[in-house]
């Protein structure tokens, strides 16, 4: 992947927690590295086949001068996010420096950096209460409404018996492939918001529910924290997850098992047949 660098873009604007910072402009310095494939532009020698770095710099300047934030962390993240939304870049590393930060010490500058990267993510969705298919369709629409999430593929809707021995009603399940630059934690937070809008209640583990959205894979990351486990725990034993995922991404390789989804599904179906 090729890179475009913008260095020492100086913009005089108002950002800070103190009242005087909000009315007295001071310099902010932006450094930006963008991953973008400009091989086509190298052959065509045409500006339309690459990123117009002049337009990107003007966009940064306009955003920085037309908004006022307390934190340079906010300024940095939202500027990077805006660029990701407007341009088809794969990754961006943005640093914002504040050389005149109101600190009574001898220092060069204060800076913050953020890196955003488009990552493919597979989600599993299920519902076994109310209008199940409509609930799933609404959830998928809500996912696509987030500017940080791009819906790539959606599987068929399949009816499945409840899993885990607690829920009573039949489920409708599907899977979606999205591309996002949200962190796994931020994506999970947005998923919980969608579940809450669908009146999801977390009272009984594996119980009946209006909506359940799980992060099955987040790129090739392996995460095991208090709030999130990726790849999703026990997915390889759940045909209602694997069949829809196999429909849209059969050659996806699980970072844990180092096997393709279609092979993991074949193993599960073989075990199920042998147990009958």
pLDDT in tens, 147-192: 999 999 999 999 988 776 566 788 999 999 999 999 999 999 999 9
Q: Is residue 26 over pLDDT 90?
A: yes
- State the average pLDDT over residues 35-39: 86
Q: What are the catalytic residues?
A: 98
- Cis peptide, bond prior to residue 231, ω within 30 of zero: yes
Percentage, residues of the chain above pLDDT 70: 96
pLDDT at 169: 82
The class of domain 119-274 in CATH terms is alpha beta
Q: What is the CA radius of gyration of the chain?
A: 23
Dihedral sign from CA coordinates of 83, 85, 89, 91: positive
- State the average pLDDT over residues 243-267: 97
At 144 the three-state DSSP class reads helix
The whole-chain average pLDDT of the chain stands at: 93
pLDDT at 168: 73
- State the average pLDDT over residues 240-248: 97
Domain residue spans of the chain? 3-117, 119-274
Residue-wise pLDDT for 44-83, tens only, equals 998 888 888 999 999 999 999 999 999 999 999 999 999 9
Percentage, residues of the chain above pLDDT 90: 79
Q: Is residue 122 over pLDDT 90?
A: yes
pLDDT at 199: 87
- State the average pLDDT over residues 86-98: 95
Fold held by 3-117: GTP Cyclohydrolase I, domain 2 (3.30.1130)
The helix or strand, by DSSP H or E, that contains position 123, with its residue range, turns out to be strand 119-127
């Amino acid at each position: 992947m090729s890179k475009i660098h913008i260095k020492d873009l100086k913009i005089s604007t108002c950002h800070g927690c103190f009242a005087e910072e909000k009315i007295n402009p001071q310099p902010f310095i932006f450094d930006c590295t963008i991953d973008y494939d400009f091989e086509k532009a190298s052959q065509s020698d045409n500006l339309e086949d690459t990123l117009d770095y002049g337009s990107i710099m003007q966009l940064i300047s306009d955003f920085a001068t037309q908004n006022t934030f307390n934190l340079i962390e906010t300024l940095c993240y939202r500027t990077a996010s805006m660029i990701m939304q407007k341009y088809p870049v794969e990754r961006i590393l943005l640093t914002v420096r504040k050389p005149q930060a109101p600190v009574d010490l001898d220092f060069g500058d204060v800076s913050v950096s953020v890196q955003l990267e488009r990552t493919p993510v597979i989600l599993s969705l299920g519902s076994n209460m109310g209008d199940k298919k409509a609930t799933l369709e609404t959830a998928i629409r809500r996912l696509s409404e987030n500017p940080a999430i791009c819906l790539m593929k959606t599987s068929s809707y399949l009816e499945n018996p409840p899993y885990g021995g607690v829920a009573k009603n039949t489920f409708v399940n599907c899977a979606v492939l999205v591309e996002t630059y949200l962190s796994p934690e931020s994506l999970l937070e947005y998923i919980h918001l969608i579940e809450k809008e669908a009146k999801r209640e977390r009272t009984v583990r594996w119980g009946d529910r209006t909506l359940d959205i799980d992060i099955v894979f987040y790129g090739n990351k392996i995460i095991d924290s208090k709030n999130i486990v990726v790849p999703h725990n026990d997915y390889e034993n759940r045909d209602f997850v694997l069949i829809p995922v196999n429909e849209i991404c059969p050659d996806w390789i699980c970072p844990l098992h180092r096997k393709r989804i279609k092979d993991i599904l074949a193993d599960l179906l073989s075990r199920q047949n042998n147990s009958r």
